[in-house]
């Protein structure tokens, strides 16, 4: 049977890449998005017979009730994304990231046609590490922002939910994403740093010592696909980090990689003692249980974005449409 996937947030940074990937594997797709950042990232797909685009808001419960009856699986990406966007729009963040997300989940749980439900969560859920130790799926969650608090709240709801036996919900905690996508974002550390180094020959780095895990958007998309294809016994009611244990970087290490590409970059460090989001993550669970391996490293992503900028493939990399803030 052909599987038909509902991808919410289909026009976003991850969504616009995921939709193309799944179409290339012969899935049928319904893409749902309110188009906060326009439809440039998916308009090319409107003529694809296996792709149906629905402009709409996940807070429109009538629309959700209708659409969940038409699909076999759901990948839920739509959200108010990132700490700055959630702080700026706390009410909308609460409605979208909690109320509407829970409604969508319950609707899927009750619709007998739906098997997998994949939720986009974040490594920001960890907050701050103690003693430089690697964190993993068993670590305590200490979210510091509204964004992460709402992700944690829904993750808990999903993991504890009692469901019919043939409904398989999974939460994926993505590392901070980088790399090219039809809707590139330049408000994410790696993409932002290489853009500034290329266009201004100058980088200002706040808190150069702080650690974070990073993952290429193409590998995030492969991980979502892997969950859709996995044995339900391994993924149902489970949480997995998505990334690679070797791809934890301090910000100054990213700057060092950039200097290899653009040696004349003037790097200015502004030291900070405390960052509530200083963490290294161990991604052994997805590697050992599902055999997941990344294919693209952080230095690969820097070179990729450098080449895109060098070829002037993005008209105005400082345009507002490439940021969620």
Ligand X SMILES: NC(=O)c1ccc[n+]([C@@H]2O[C@H](COP(=O)([O-])OP(=O)(O)OC[C@H]3O[C@@H](n4cnc5c(N)ncnc54)[C@H](O)[C@@H]3O)[C@@H](O)[C@H]2O)c1
286 contacts: CB under 8 Å, gap ≥ 6: 223, 240, 241, 242, 292
Cβ atoms within 10 Å of 118's Cβ, excluding its own = 25
Output 57 or 208, the one with its CB closest to ligand X: 57
| Segment interacting with ligand X, rule: CB under 6 A, options 170-178, 190-198, 226-234, 275-283 | 170-178
> Which position has the token pair 């990948």?
75
Give the rounded distance of the alpha carbon of 115 from its chain centre.
21
Residue 174 C-beta: closest distance to ligand X, Å: 4
| 34 lies in the binding site for ligand X (CB under 6 A) | yes
DSSP string across 52-95? EEEE--TT-HHHHHHHGGG-SEEEE--S--SHHHHHHSHHHHHI
Residue 166 C-beta: closest distance to ligand X, Å: 25
Output 265 or 292, the one with its CB closest to ligand X: 292
| 148 lies in the binding site for ligand X (CB under 6 A) | no
Minimal CB distance residue for ligand X: 12
| 317 lies in the binding site for ligand X (CB under 6 A) | no
| 120 lies in the binding site for ligand X (CB under 6 A) | yes
Output 182 or 203, the one with its CB closest to ligand X: 182
| 53 lies in the binding site for ligand X (CB under 6 A) | no
Output 218 or 265, the one with its CB closest to ligand X: 218
Question: In the range 121-140, which residues lie near ligand X by CB under 6 A?
Answer: 122
Output 174 or 283, the one with its CB closest to ligand X: 174
- CB distance 57 to 79 below 8 Å: no
| 74 lies in the binding site for ligand X (CB under 6 A) | no
| 213 lies in the binding site for ligand X (CB under 6 A) | no
Cβ atoms within 10 Å of 93's Cβ, excluding its own = 22
> Which position has the token pair 């964004």?
147
Select from 174, 186, 193, 210 the one that contacts ligand X (CB under 6 A). Answer: 174
| 219 lies in the binding site for ligand X (CB under 6 A) | no
- CB distance 205 to 255 below 8 Å: yes
| Segment interacting with ligand X, rule: CB under 6 A, options 32-40, 262-270, 273-281, 311-319 | 32-40
Output 116 or 185, the one with its CB closest to ligand X: 185
- What is the rounded CA–CA span in Å between residue 46 and residue 29? 11
Burial label for 287, CB within 10 Å (0-12, 13-18, 19+), is middle
Please count the residues of this chain forming the interface with ligand X, following the rule CB under 6 A: 28
| 15 lies in the binding site for ligand X (CB under 6 A) | yes
Output 19 or 77, the one with its CB closest to ligand X: 77
| 57 lies in the binding site for ligand X (CB under 6 A) | yes
Output 176 or 230, the one with its CB closest to ligand X: 176
- What is the rounded CA–CA span in Å between residue 189 and residue 205? 10
| 222 lies in the binding site for ligand X (CB under 6 A) | no
- CB distance 286 to 242 below 8 Å: yes
- What is the rounded CA–CA span in Å between residue 207 and residue 220? 26
- What is the rounded CA–CA span in Å between residue 273 and residue 277? 12
Residue 97 C-beta: closest distance to ligand X, Å: 8
Select from 27, 37, 167, 193 the one that contacts ligand X (CB under 6 A). Answer: 37
């Amino acid at each position: 049977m052909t599987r038909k996937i509902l991808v919410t947030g289909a026009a976003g940074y991850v969504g616009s890449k995921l939709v193309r990937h799944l179409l290339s594997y012969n899935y049928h797709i319904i893409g749902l998005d309110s188009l906060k950042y326009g439809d440039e990232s998916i308009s090319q797909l409107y003529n694809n017979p296996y792709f149906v685009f629905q402009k709409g808001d996940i807070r429109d419960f009538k629309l959700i009730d209708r659409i969940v009856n038409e699909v076999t699986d759901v990948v839920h990406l739509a959200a108010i994304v990132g700490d700055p966007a959630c702080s700026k729009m706390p009410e909308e963040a609460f409605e979208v990231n909690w109320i509407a997300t829970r409604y969508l989940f319950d609707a899927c749980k009750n619709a007998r046609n739906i098997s997998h439900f994949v939720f986009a969560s974040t490594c920001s859920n960890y907050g701050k590490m103690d003693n430089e130790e690697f964190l993993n799926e068993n670590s305590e969650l200490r979210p510091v922002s509204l964004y992460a608090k709402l992700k944690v709240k829904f993750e808990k709801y999903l993991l504890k939910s009692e469901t019919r036996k043939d409904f398989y919900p999974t939460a994926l905690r993505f590392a901070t994403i980088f790399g090219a996508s039809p809707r590139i974002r330049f408000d994410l550390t790696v993409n932002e740093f290489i853009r500034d180094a290329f266009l201004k020959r100058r980088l200002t780095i706040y808190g150069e010592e702080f650690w974070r895990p990073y993952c290429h958007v193409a590998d995030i998309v492969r991980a979502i696909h892997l969950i859709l294809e996995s044995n339900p016994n391994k993924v149902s009611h489970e949480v997995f980090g998505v990334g690679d244990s070797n791809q934890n970087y301090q910000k100054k290490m990213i700057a060092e990689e950039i200097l290899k590409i653009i040696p004349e970059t003037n790097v200015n460090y502004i030291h900070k003692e405390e960052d509530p989001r200083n963490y290294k993550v161990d991604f052994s669970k997805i590697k050992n249980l599902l055999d997941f391996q990344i294919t693209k490293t952080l230095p690969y992503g820097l070179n990729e974005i450098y080449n895109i900028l060098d070829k002037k493939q993005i008209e105005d990399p400082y345009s507002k449409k490439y940021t969620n803030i």
